[in-house]
Every structure is written in C-alpha cells, then in structure tokens.
Structure 1
C-alpha cells in the first residue's frame, strides 16, 4: 500500500514522476504531514510545468504558421546593446530545429544570468545553424546605432546555413532579404526563435563587457554592461571616456565637450 511506504520512498517516486492519478489521490489521504507537504510541492511543480508548456506553445505561433506555409527553416534575429553608452551592439540569428523544446525560453532580459548561460549552451548545441555579429563602438559612432544594429543583424543572418525560408525579426525591418520576413514588436517574448537569438546576443555581449571591465574596471562594466548607471556616469565625469565609449551618445559627447 502507498501509505505504508516511507516518506523517502514516496519523495523519490514523486521526483521520478512514476505515480499515476490514483496513487496521488491515495497519497492525499495519507495523514502524515511529511507526505502532505510532498504532495503539495509536487502539485505546485506540475502546475508550473503545465504553465511553462502552455507559454512555450504560445511562443511557437509564428514558427508553426511558417511551417504550415511550407517553410522548412525558420530563423529568428535579435540584438543586444542598442542603449548602452559603451561597448558593441551584438546581433544573433538562429534557426531552431522543428520540434525544438526548451521550457522557460523567453526574452533574455526576463531570465537570470545562470539560466541565460545554460540556455545559451543548449541553443548553440541544438540549433540547425546560428550566426553572431559584433559591431564595435567606433563603427556605431560612424554610421549611428540604428544602422549599426541593422548591419549586425544582416551579418548574423548571412552566417546561417541553410538560408532560411522565413525570418522573424525583433522590431526591425531588414532590406534585401532572400526570404520572407516578419518584424514583431517585443518579438523576443512572442517567438521562440527570436527569444533564442536574444539569448545568444545578450550572453555574447555580456561576456565582451566583462572582458572590457578587466581593462577599465572603474566603470564597472561587468555589472552595468555599459548602461548609464549612477556610478558609471560619475566615473565618466571623473575620469573621462574609455576607448570603448560611444562618443556620439549624448552623455559621453557632453563629457568630451564635443
């Protein structure tokens, strides 16, 4: 009988997911507090996983639509680093395999660093193809951040093999593409392909900023990633700009007196 088993055994059975509805129902009648606690935790976890499943399915809407339109390969593109005062802008493009599943996948900004890095490795390993492009601050100053972002996206797209049949882009429209495309506002929260690209772009850029931090620790780039935090602005005023600052961005331009 289930109620005769030890709490340790029941815990393992629940963890392994081998108990059916009838067995769970019997556990709910067990008068041991430890068993009741295990059942509550199990049901809470099941509800969480169900929600993650539903969220993931919702985020495959645009991919499923493309596949139903006879597309074999669907790509997503996103960028990281349009807003910071220092460092590059990074874009990533990715083609996920049909049937790809990674519960919890979302806009990279909604995930903690540990989860982003874990997903970064999974996406790179399982992707049909991916491309990453880095446009440095000097080029950003030359052609402006919007054009630099589009260039990074185009370069990331060009690295994809095979060429996708359809492209999902976060908030930007790209020209002269060899495939159909859609620009989605807040696409990294609506499409698994764009969300995956956002993770590749952000983790890549964060690692670059951590390396720059070693060279110029006073700005605390490893923490602020080049954004204009209070400390960053104070150091900008006190020590001036680094070679990685975007001189055409107003706060940096003001410090330089240009």
Structure 2
C-alpha cells in the first residue's frame, strides 16, 4: 500500500513539474560496455592542466568509478553504464527513472590549487529524440565507496545525485557525438579544492521542459483531479455505496 501511494504521488508530481520527463527522455544509453572512462579536466594555479579519469583508484577491479542509481530499478556493481533519464514504456513510472554519477581520485591534487574544472564525457552513447532537455550536475554527499557499490536500490543515494549544490546546467538540443564537455561552476571549484587528496563524486540528473511533455499524462492528471473533485462532492454518500463503487485510480502502478 505504501509503495503504491509513493508511486502515485511521484507520478502526479512529475506530471505537474515544469521539468517533468516525457517519453524517451534519456542520455548516454548503451554506455559502459566498452570500458571507456570519463574525465575530470582541472586547470591549476601554476598554469598546468591535469586530467583525472573514472578509471583511476578503482573500487571494483575491472569496473570504472561511474554508473547509475535508479529510483526503484536495481543495478549491479559491475555495470558502469552512465545512463541517465527515463526509459520507455512509461517514463512517469519511477522504475524507469535513473541518475548517474562519476567519481575521481584527487589524491595528488594540492588543496586550493584548482582554478577551473570540466567534466568530459568520452562515451556519449545514445540519446532520445525528445529535445531539448537539461542535464544538470550536482554535489554528492554519499561516501564514494558506498556510491560506487551500486547494487540494488537506494532512495537516499538516488535523491543525493539530483539535489544539493548545482555544479552545472547544460541544455542538450540534439543527439551527442564525440567528446562532450561540461564546465563546472564556482561551487564545484570550492568543493573540489576542499576534497583535494580524497575522492570526489559528481551526480547527474536529466530534466525536460514541460512544453515537450506528451499530452496523455497531463490529461490523465486532469482526469484524476476531476475525479478527486467528484469524490469531494459525493462525500455524503454512505460508506456502503462507496465500498461498492469502482476505485477511481485502479490504473495506478502497483
């Protein structure tokens, strides 16, 4: 019962949100199988540039320090795909919602020396045809080892990857190809300098403008609202009559 209520509530929230996901809203699908690592490119105060990768300081041998966590969809530790977004067939069902992460070792970086930073994604994979969409990067408070042991599900880790301090907000207007670089802001630089000598993780989430959300989910939301209003008007009906009436939201995911 609690799971059904949680899914129904999130479905309504996503449909009403200005950043609600629509069918086929995803990036970086099909990644991870080729063993291509992603980069963190740092500009240092001495004028040099350092490139760190998700292939350094591995937590799991043979698996890059990158991957995804799903809202309800379980992952497994050896899967280092950086898929993010919502899959078909029902993008408003939380089981299809995914956020990604990247972890880098700052073991040889001097605190306070970082003056610029960019995340460079070398394995862009496949994106949906539903554009534009916004890919955002956030700070991560989850311990790096725990984050990279991405087996099963964790609502707290999933939430962490798409909340907190926003490091970047990139509007994607079409299918990506080649290397894709995203500059990180001052908040990211401050956190990077504070994390020098340790692991540093970045979380990613995908949003999309409401203007491209397909009509059926919005119509369903409107119908649910009208149904709720109708129930309010009939609140004086006897309990026996209510028990005999068909459930208003019998189509809600289990």
TM-score of the superposed pair, with normalisation by structure 1: 0.26
- Higher-helix-fraction structure: 1
Higher relative contact order (CA 8 A, sep 6+): 2
Give the greater-gyration-radius structure (CA). Answer: 1
TM-score of the superposed pair, with normalisation by structure 2: 0.26
